[in-house]
Amino acid sequence: MVAIADSVPKPAARFRFILERRGVLGSIMVAPAVLYVLLLVGVPFLMAVYYSLSAYTIYDPSWSFVGLANFEDVVEDPAFRQTLYNTFIFTFGSQILGLVLGKFGALVLLRPFPGRKFVRALVILPWAVPIALATVAWQWMFDSLYSVINWTLIALGVVTRSDAPNWLGTPYLAMLSVIVVNAWRFFPFAIVIFLAGITAVPQDVLDAATVDGAGFWRRNYLIIMPMILPIVAVGLVFGIVFTFTDLSIVFLMTMGGPVGATSVLGFAGFQTGIVSGDVSHGAAISLFMLPVLLIVVVAMLRFIRRREI
């Protein structure tokens, strides 16, 4: 008779199933993101705080604590106050314009029409094209001599050649120009956000509103908009954070000019801290973004949570 062997318990391989432990696998998965944030966001942030409290420049890289003197200098500078004001105008102007364009773009793209897929792909382009490339194109469109916009306005008889607007040379028009370009860049993102939101509204709710007597505008502003507000607010938080800290369009199109009319915080911080080498004042300028962004983000997130439905 063949004896059936007792099953000998194998020495447990201690680390064999280690990856199946939730805690271990989770930590491994999350580690790159945590490292990334710590090294590329956390460390530079702490360094910025450190620089802003010192008299550090690239010519005199010594650590001498000066307290809040840098911030005092910055706030007393009228050019900085102009920059702070510009940053708000630039951010909120382009966000509002982008949202309006995004909302109507989404409404257009919701209805089926021939070539809709093609148009949907096309609409994403401003977002996908490298910003440096797009800005060069826009620069030519706003050029004082070769502006295609002015050419069109003259051809239509709206303005004459002698009083054609100098888009990037007049303070208000320059601000309008950078806002338009930034809104142009942002609106595909807004369209995506709106499309996602609107398609998530149950058809029954829209039908009910129609039968209850709501026309197009009432359906849009009393039913759809409030229902998609949380998702739009998330998109807006992204838009505000990215625009508030952005310097690429200003840097590429106007260099903050004319006479500081389009200078924004990111650009001013870069100019002062890196180009001019006054790291401590540059850091102080950049840190002004923090409280503003913190307030905006916290307020928005609280709002979203309250509105969650």
Partner 1 sequence: MAAVVTRDIVKTFGEVPAVNGISLNVPNGEFMVLLGPSGCGKTTFLRIICGLERQTSGDLLIGGDLVNDMPPRARGVAMMFQSYGLYPHFTVRNNIAFPLKTQGIPGAEISKKVEWASQLLGIGHLLDRRPRQLSGGERQRVALARALVRQPTALLLDEPLSNLDAKLRTSARQEIKQFQQRVGVTTIYVTHDQVEAMGMGDRIAVIDRGQVRQVGTPSEIYNDPADRFVATFVGAPPMNIVARNGGYLGFRPENFLPKDMVKDMVKDAAFTEFQFRVDRSEYLGSERIVYGVLEGFDTNEVVTAKLPPVHVAEAWIRPGEWHPFAVRDAALRHFGNDGKRTSRH
Which residue ranges make up the site for partner 1 (CB under 8 A)?
202, 204-215, 218, 222-223, 226-227, 307, 309
CB of 14 to partner 1, least distance (A): 48
Name the nearest CA neighbour of 186 among 93, 257, 121.
93
Name the nearest CA neighbour of 48 among 270, 303, 261.
270
Pick the closer one to partner 1 by CB: 180 or 304: 304
CB of 207 to partner 1, least distance (A): 5
Contact 301, 237 (CB under 8 A): yes
CB of 114 to partner 1, least distance (A): 15
Pick the closer one to partner 1 by CB: 47 or 222: 222
Pick the closer one to partner 1 by CB: 72 or 212: 212
CB of 234 to partner 1, least distance (A): 16
Instruction: Annotate 147-179 with b (16+ C-beta within 10 A) or e (fewer).
Output: beebeebbeeeeeeeeebbbbbeeeeebbbbbb
Pick the closer one to partner 1 by CB: 172 or 217: 217
Pick the closer one to partner 1 by CB: 2 or 211: 211
Cα–Cα dist 197/191, whole Å: 10
Residue at 47: amino acid letter: M
Residue 250 exposure: Cα atoms within 13 Å on the Cβ side: 31
Report CA dihedral (28, 34, 35, 41) to the nearest 10 degrees. 170
CB of 109 to partner 1, least distance (A): 22
Cα–Cα dist 202/6, whole Å: 62
CB of 224 to partner 1, least distance (A): 10
CB of 214 to partner 1, least distance (A): 5
Pick the closer one to partner 1 by CB: 115 or 202: 202
Q: What are the phi and psi torsion angles at 145 (to 5°)? A: -100, -45
CB of 247 to partner 1, least distance (A): 38
| End-to-end CA gap in the chain | 72
Name the nearest CA neighbour of 218 among 231, 209, 227, 228.
209
Pick the closer one to partner 1 by CB: 302 or 307: 307
Q: How far is CA 262 from the centre of its chain?
A: 17
Pick the closer one to partner 1 by CB: 235 or 269: 235
